[in-house]
Amino acid sequence: MRVIELNKSVTESNDLDAKNLRDELTKAKVCLINLMSSPGSGKTTLLKRTITDLKDKIRFGVVEADIASDVDAIAIEENGAKSIQVHTDGMCHMDAGMTRRGVFELGIEDIDIAVLENVGNLICPAEFDTGAHVNVMILSIPEGDDKPLKYPLMFSMVDALVVTKYDTKSFFNFDEDKCYEAVKKLNPNVRIFPVSAKTGEGMNEWEEYLLGLKKDM
């Protein structure tokens, strides 16, 4: 019986693939955001509201990565942005090669910001550079304030953290100070955006951040 250790070499070439993809998209002035979170934390809902709010300012395209189904891509298209669904053949993350295919199948000619809605989980997606310019994670209030302690890699590698379902705060013992302190310890420069995609609270700051990303490309 042979055991082949593929992890290292795969990661090495993935890093190169990711750099090449990032460079190509930079030349095309398209910002790629890698959006990560647990299943059901509110990625699609946040995207739908953001796309609607910014429809006259940012042209979005969304790559929906899931193990199965096409419901998220349909939901995004119904909201007026173009979208493509990719299935990951059971894999729990997207790598740079898969992201490249998704982004170019989506088509980048008429978009300012491409969003990869990564497969829902807080572990594997943090380990693979997708080629994105910006990594964003969502933590929803019902998941609890201790998640930075349990999934430190994800919290330490993101540029921005959106804390969503803020409207549910009164129902959960979510200690914001404790949570943000743990996050800042792992990642001092992270931007934190508390929002509710349901009520719209906090969405302005998040959307200003996105407008800044478009401007910087």
Ligand X SMILES: Nc1nc2c(ncn2[C@@H]2O[C@H](COP(=O)(O)OP(=O)(O)OP(=O)(O)O)[C@@H](O)[C@H]2O)c(=O)[nH]1
What track of x and - describes contact with Mg ion for positions 6 through 35 (by CB under 5 A)?
Answer: ------------------------------
Amino acid found at 84: I
Question: 36 burial class (0-12, 13-18, 19+ CB within 10 angstroms)?
Answer: buried
- # residues near ligand X by CB under 6 A: 17
Indicate the residue among 103 and 182 with the shorter CB distance to Mg ion.
Answer: 103
> Any contact of residue 120 with ligand X (CB under 6 A)?
yes
Q: Where are the alpha helices (DSSP H) in the chain?
A: 7-27, 43-53, 71-78, 96-106, 147-150, 152-157, 176-186, 203-216
- Angle, helices 203-216 vs 43-53, to 10°: value is 70
| CB closest to ligand X, residue no | 120
Least distance (Å) between residue 43 CB and Mg ion = 5
In the set 17, 21, 32, 44, which binds ligand X (CB under 6 A)? 44
Map the footprint of ligand X across residues 73-92, applying CB under 6 A. Answer: none
Do the Cβ atoms of 165 and 140 come closer than 8 Å? Answer: yes
Q: What is the per-residue DSSP string for 100-131? A: HHHHHHH--TT-SEEEEE--S-SSGGGGS--S
HSE-CB of 202 using CA atoms within 13 angstroms? 15
Map the footprint of Mg ion across residues 69-88, applying CB under 5 A. Answer: 72
| Binding at 80: pick from ligand X, Mg ion, none (beta carbon under 5-8 Å per type) | none
Amino acid found at 153: L
Indicate the residue among 179 and 197 with the shorter CB distance to Mg ion.
Answer: 197
Q: What are phi and psi of 164, to 5 degrees?
A: -105, 180
Least distance (Å) between residue 195 CB and ligand X = 7
Map the footprint of Mg ion across residues 137-176, applying CB under 5 A. Answer: none
Least distance (Å) between residue 83 CB and Mg ion = 11
Chain residues that interact with ligand X, rule: CB under 6 A? 37, 39-45, 72, 120, 164-165, 167-168, 196-198
